[in-house]
Amino acid sequence: EKKHKVTVVGSGNWGSTISKIVAENTKEHPELFEQDVQMWVYEEEVDYEGKKQKLTSIINQHHENVKYLPNIKLPTNIIPNPSLLDAVKDSTILVFNLPHQFIHRICDQLKGHVVPFARGISCVKGVNVSDEGIALFSEWIGEGLGIYCGALSGANIASEIAAEKYSATTIAYDPPPMDSSRNPSQNATPRSQTPARQPNGADQLSITPLADMHHRDARGRKSKTKLTPVPSEYPPLDHITFKTLFYRPYFHVSMVSDVAGTSLGGALKNIIAVAAGFVEGRGWGNNAKAEVMRIGLLEMVKFGKQFFGETVEEKTFTVESAGVADLITSCQGGRNFRCSKLAVERGVSVQEVEETELNGQKLQGTTTAAEVNSFLKRRGLEQEYPLFTAVHDILEGRKTVDDIPTLVASDH
C-alpha cells in the first residue's frame, strides 16, 4: 500500500499554520500519509540573531517561521523547501496557501510538473477575475494543472489556530465519482475520529485510467479537465482522507460539496471586513459595523446566486464556518479590518498601513474589492452591489467613509 505525500505550497501566516496542522496529522496517520510534509517557501533573507539568514535555513534549524508566524514551534516533520518543483515532486496532495496575487505565477511554473492523479485543496481567499469573467481559484488551479482541486475556508485567523485555540473550518470537495465498482475491502484501512463516508465526496479508485472523465465545475459546466484516477494502491482521496488530514481537536472540519459557496465566502468577506474597519475607524461603533456586515452578507449571497447559481447553496453562507462565521471573525480582528481601521484613524491609505504594519503579510480585501468591481462594472452591475462598490470607491479616493450611509441606503 502506498501512502500520500503532502506538499503545502506557501508558508505565510496561514500557510505555516496549515502546514503545522497537516504535519501533526501526517505523523498521527502513517497508514494514510508519508510523515514528512514539504512546505514550499518563497525564499528571502531575514534579519535573525544579528545577521541576515535565509528563511528556509532558519525554519530548518529552529522550526519556527520567525517572519510570518513568530513564536510558534513548528513540527520537525515540516520540510521547508525553496524549490517549488522539488517541493511538489511525487506529491499526491497539494495544498495551495498563498496570497491570491501570487497564485498565477506559481501555477504557471507547476504546469506539467505535478503528479497527474494528485488532488488539490485551495486555502486561497480571493477570486480570479480575467477578461473571460470570474473564476474560483480552486477551479482555476484545477483546470491549469489538470487535477481536481477543492477548497478550505472558514473563520480561521491564523495566529489563534497556530496557538491551538478552538476553531472550525469548512472543506468543500466534490470530485466526480471515478469508479463506482471499487472494491470496498481496499478501503478498509482503520481511520479514527473520522465521519461516515459522504456520498458527494467519493473519489474512488479505478483500475484503468478514465481519460475522458470530465466533471462539472462550480457553475455546473462540463470541466475541460480530464481527471486521472488515483491508483488503487493508494488510499482513496475522499472526504474521510481530507478530514483526517486537516481535523485537529482544536480545528474542527465540516466537509461539504459546495465549492463555490465555500470559496466565495472567504473571498467576499474580505471586502466587507474593509468596510467594517472603515466604520469602526470613523468611530461609528457597533451598530454601524453590524449594518455593513448585514448588507455585505446579503451582497455575498446575491453574488453567489447570480454568478454561481447552478451549484452554490445559500446555507453555505449562513450555516458554515466559511460563511457567516468567517465574516464575523474577520470584521472583529482580521488584518483587512485592522488595517482599514488604522488607515481611517491615521488619515492615510490602507496600502500604506499594509506596508508599515504587516511585515510582509498581504491584504486580500483591497485587491478583491478592485477585482470584483472590474467584473461588476463591465456588466453594468455596480449599483446592484452598493457596499462592494462603496469599498472600492473609498479605496480609490473617489468617495469617503462618510458617504457610506448614503451609498448603501436601500431607498436612495
Q: Which of residues 26-45 bind ligand 13P (CB under 6 A)?
A: none
The site partner of 100 among ligand NAD, ligand 13P, none (C-beta below 5 to 8 Å per kind) is ligand NAD
> Beta partners for 81?
40
Q: Where are the beta strands (DSSP E) in 55-92?
A: 78-81
| Residue placing its CB nearer to ligand 13P in the complex, 81 or 169 | 169
- Please give the positions annotated as active site: 269
| Grid cell digits, residue 83 | 524549490
Residue 87 binds ligand NAD (CB under 6 A): no
C-beta of 232 vs 361, nearer to ligand NAD: 361
Alpha-helical segments (H) within 258-385: 259-281, 285-308, 314-319, 326-333, 335-346, 350-357, 365-378
Task: Indicate whether 42 belongs to the interface with ligand NAD (CB under 6 A).
Answer: yes
Residues 346-365 that bind ligand 13P (CB under 6 A): 364
Q: Among 58, 72, 78, 124, which residue sits at the site for ligand NAD (rule: CB under 6 A)?
A: 124
Is residue 335 a contact point for ligand 13P (CB under 6 A)?
yes
Interface region with ligand 13P, contact rule CB under 6 A, candidates 177-185, 212-220, 233-241, 327-335: 327-335
Question: Alpha-carbon dihedral of residues 192, 194, 195, 197, nearest 10 degrees?
Answer: -90
The grid coordinates listed for 353 are 498601513
Q: In the bound complex, what is the minimum distance in angstroms from residue 180's beta carbon to ligand NAD?
A: 35
Q: What is the dihedral of CA 111, 112, 116, 122, to 10 degrees?
A: -10
Round to whole Å and give the CA distance between 347 and 344: 5
Site for ligand NAD in 298-357 (CB under 6 A): none
Task: Report the C-alpha gap between 142 and 150 in whole angstroms.
Answer: 8
- 280: cell is 469602526
Residue 330, contacted partner among ligand NAD, ligand 13P, none, CB below 5-8 A by kind: ligand 13P
- The candidate with the shortest Cα–Cα distance to 210, out of 223, 225, 234, 227, is 227
Q: Does 391 bind ligand 13P (CB under 6 A)?
A: no
- Which residues here bind ligand NAD, judged by CB under 6 A? 10-15, 42, 68, 97-100, 102, 123-126, 156-158, 360-362, 364
- Which residues here bind ligand 13P, judged by CB under 6 A? 125, 155-157, 270, 273, 326, 329-330, 334-336, 364
